[in-house]
Structure 1
Amino acid sequence: MTGVTLSNVIKKYGETQVIHGIDLEIEDGEFCVFVGPSGCGKSTLLRMVAGLEETTGGTIEIGPRDVTHMDPAERGVAMVFQTYALYPHMTVAENMGFGLKMNRHPKDEIAAKVAEASRVLKLDDYLTRKPKALSGGQRQRVAIGRAIVRGPDVFLFDEPLSNLDAELRVEMRVEIARLHNEIGATMIYVTHDQVEAMTLADKIVVLRAGRIEQVGRPLDLYNDPDNQFVAGFIGSPAMNFFPAVAGGGGVQVPGLGDMTLPPPLSAPATGPVTVGVRPQQLRLAEGDTHKVDISEQLGGVAYHYLIAGDGSRVTVEAHDQSAPKSGAMVGLTVDPENALFFDAETGARLR
């Protein structure tokens, strides 16, 4: 087991630069998730670690070795892709052991490693089946098993659950978390789904346009984002943002029914700011400041979508089974301590 260190890593395609000087340290045995919107560079960065993309500048180290210009086979990594890429004419056991067979490992060693991977992934009952007889989740487990038998220093996952339906995604998310707990290997996982990032990661790396916006533990990013982009990307449903105005010793928020909030120390004395409040931290109340657009009742949780007097859209999460009717007028309350403040122009956090 070894960590991964990226130092001023750059990637260019001709004159177009897509990765801009990434510095990152992933500890031995850590589960690190790259997350961000489509096109942010997360898969490109993963493929650079794997050696599938050439590194234009900077260095990549796996453990004590500089692997920047090594072939993929020499890096000690195994990659699980979005597509399973299983051989349809081979059984599960043959698919899992094929890489070792091609490298002329002894049959007894291959059988032992396939058996151990099968035990970890609960595939013992499927070893003689071919891929067409497996579900999507089982096929992805076989692809993960193929990576395990290689005994890599680092596991790389490139959106491995995106082809699965919602139920299987949850099931496989739990499987991957359990796998990490059992084998303790260093894992780097790419996803655009922040729920996967929050539930799987020891460390989240939030990327935007080829740059790191913030690195930290899931709850640190949720509770203490550095900027508006991270605040809006981490958390489901997404954080509500309201244009607001500082002045007179307070911050007036029209989208919250002209509520006045105490400003942070770094807020301007006067002028525009942005206020962020998570849907979980808002409460419906008596009043007529917001019109109910739609309410979604899911049983244990409900989502209310409101329209403020200034046209702002507001999402409120509630944990009861009462839902106001569409078109009804309601009020909102929020604990001022739960409001976050951002620079209206740069999006930087005001603390």
Structure 2
Amino acid sequence: MTGVTLAKAVKKYGDVQVIHDVDLSIRDGEFCVFVGPSGCGKSTLLRMIAGLEETSSGQIHIGDRDVTGLDAADRGVAMVFQSYALYPHMTVEENMGFGLKMNGHPKAAIKAKVDEASRILKLDDYLKRKPKALSGGQRQRVAIGRAIVRGPEVFLFDEPLSNLDAELRVDMRVEIARLHKEIGATMIYVTHDQVEAMTLADKIVVLRAGRVEQVGSPMDLYADPDNRFVAGFIGSPSMNFLKGQVAGGVIVVPALENRRVRTSVVLPKEGATVLVGIRPQHLTVEAGDSSLILELRERLGGVSYDYLRSSTGEKIIVETRGDEALPEGTAVTLDFDDTKAYFFDGQSEQRLR
């Protein structure tokens, strides 16, 4: 197996540039996830690596080879799409081995590779079935098996779980994580679901509008985001952001009854706007005389989420545990440990450190 390197990769459609000078290094055997909102360019970037989209400028290397100008078939990659794209008239076994058959591989070699992929994906009992007799999760495993038998240097996944229901998505996340551990291949995976990204990735690449916002391990991005976008995107529920103003070396937050937040970070000038970021689990809520109103409680069993609205119109989510619940419509007060807060410049939205 081998790694992937992008150097100043650019994609343009006419005069419209959708991928902007992406520099990225993915190590041999690494599970890298491209994550970001719809339209951020993550699938386009994956298709550029696959050779399904032409790279307008820059370079793409797979291992030691410059593959920028190579056709998709010559890049040594296999791609698993959102749609299963299985041949309905073929059995599972035939679907998995079809690519090798078309390339003239001997029957014995095809069978050996299909049997190995079937063992890895636990498809032995389904080899003689046709796709219509399979569940959605089983069909996606067949699509992954078809990629495995090709023996690619790099596996590419383009939102492969989007067509599955919630329970199957969880099961397939586990299957894909197990697959990566077993075969040790370099894998690049596209999703808009940050939970998938946090669960699967060794490395996450956060994209916005065709640009890389930050690259790092899941917990690095969660604990040390570079800007408001990454801080809000990584973590579920997302981080709360409250407007504050620098006054006398502290940050005054109107939404929290002008609470004064102290920090050791370098603050901008007096009167400047600062965004105070607080994760839901770092807030505590109780009934009190305040302009904050508990609008809704979302009960999920062992954990609940309180949705509050301030007099300034800002929405705040608080994670709570236990059975005690305040009635909806209650005026509440909030508190938090100042050392748990993050601070972002009100103009650039970059992290203040």
TM-score by length of 2: 0.98
Q: Does 1:310 align with 2:312?
A: yes
Are the equivalent residues in 2 in contact too, given 1:257–1:308 (CA < 8 A)? no
Partner amino acid, structure 1, of 2:81: F
The Cα shift of 1:200 comes to 0.4
Partner amino acid, structure 1, of 2:37: P
**Cα offsets for 1:234-267 (capped at 9, x unmatched):** 1100111111011112101122332211134321
Are the equivalent residues in 2 in contact too, given 1:33–1:189 (CA < 8 A)? yes
Matched residue SS, 1:142: helix
Are the equivalent residues in 2 in contact too, given 1:303–1:316 (CA < 8 A)? yes
Pairwise mapping of residues 73-222 of structure 1 onto structure 2 (< 5 A)?
A: 73-222=73-222
The whole-number CA distance in structure 1 between the counterparts of 2:284 and 2:182 is 41
Are the equivalent residues in 2 in contact too, given 1:264–1:350 (CA < 8 A)? no
The whole-number CA distance in structure 1 between the counterparts of 2:94 and 2:332 is 62
Matched residue SS, 1:349: coil
Cross-structure match for 1:276:
277
The whole-number CA distance in structure 2 between the counterparts of 1:264 and 1:161 is 43
Q: Percent identity?
A: 69
The whole-number CA distance in structure 2 between the counterparts of 1:244 and 1:187 is 42
Partner amino acid, structure 2, of 1:349: R
The whole-number CA distance in structure 2 between the counterparts of 1:257 and 1:99 is 65
The Cα shift of 1:25 comes to 0.2
Cross-structure match for 1:332:
334
Partner amino acid, structure 2, of 1:6: L
The whole-number CA distance in structure 1 between the counterparts of 2:323 and 2:199 is 26
Larger deviation, residues 255-264 vs 81-90: 255-264
Larger deviation, residues 168-177 vs 281-290: 281-290
Large movers: runs of 4+ above 4 Å: none
The whole-number CA distance in structure 2 between the counterparts of 1:83 and 1:288 is 53
Are the equivalent residues in 1 in contact too, given 2:304–2:320 (CA < 8 A)? yes
**Cα offsets for 1:65-114 (capped at 9, x unmatched):** 00001111111000000000000000000000000000111111111111
Partner amino acid, structure 2, of 1:300: G
**Structure 1 vs Structure 2 CA RMSD:** 0.9
Partner amino acid, structure 1, of 2:123: L
The whole-number CA distance in structure 1 between the counterparts of 2:314 and 2:267 is 22
TM-score by length of 1: 0.98
Pairwise mapping of residues 12-91 of structure 1 onto structure 2 (< 5 A)?
A: 12-91=12-91
The whole-number CA distance in structure 2 between the counterparts of 1:293 and 1:263 is 30
The whole-number CA distance in structure 1 between the counterparts of 2:29 and 2:43 is 21
Matched residue SS, 2:226: coil
**Cα offsets for 1:310-349 (capped at 9, x unmatched):** 2221100112222211111221111111110001011000
Cross-structure match for 2:3:
3
Q: How many residues align?
A: 351
Cross-structure match for 1:348:
350
The whole-number CA distance in structure 1 between the counterparts of 2:306 and 2:294 is 7
Are the equivalent residues in 1 in contact too, given 2:263–2:338 (CA < 8 A)? no
Partner amino acid, structure 2, of 1:21: D
Larger deviation, residues 315-324 vs 242-251: 315-324
The whole-number CA distance in structure 1 between the counterparts of 2:107 and 2:304 is 56
The whole-number CA distance in structure 1 between the counterparts of 2:178 and 2:165 is 20
The Cα shift of 1:280 comes to 1.3
Partner amino acid, structure 2, of 1:177: A
Pairwise mapping of residues 242-257 of structure 1 onto structure 2 (< 5 A)?
A: 242-257=242-257
Matched residue SS, 2:220: helix
The Cα shift of 1:156 comes to 0.1
The whole-number CA distance in structure 1 between the counterparts of 2:121 and 2:256 is 49
Larger deviation, residues 149-158 vs 325-334: 325-334
Are the equivalent residues in 1 in contact too, given 2:287–2:330 (CA < 8 A)? no
Larger deviation, residues 309-318 vs 94-103: 309-318
Cross-structure match for 2:296:
294
Are the equivalent residues in 2 in contact too, given 1:297–1:321 (CA < 8 A)? no
The Cα shift of 1:38 comes to 0.7
Matched residue SS, 1:350: coil
The whole-number CA distance in structure 2 between the counterparts of 1:6 and 1:53 is 14
Partner amino acid, structure 2, of 1:77: V
The Cα shift of 1:269 comes to 3.6
Larger deviation, residues 238-247 vs 259-268: 259-268
Matched residue SS, 1:109: helix
Structure 1, gaps ≥5 residues long: none
Are the equivalent residues in 1 in contact too, given 2:293–2:330 (CA < 8 A)? yes
Are the equivalent residues in 2 in contact too, given 1:9–1:23 (CA < 8 A)? yes
The Cα shift of 1:286 comes to 4.2
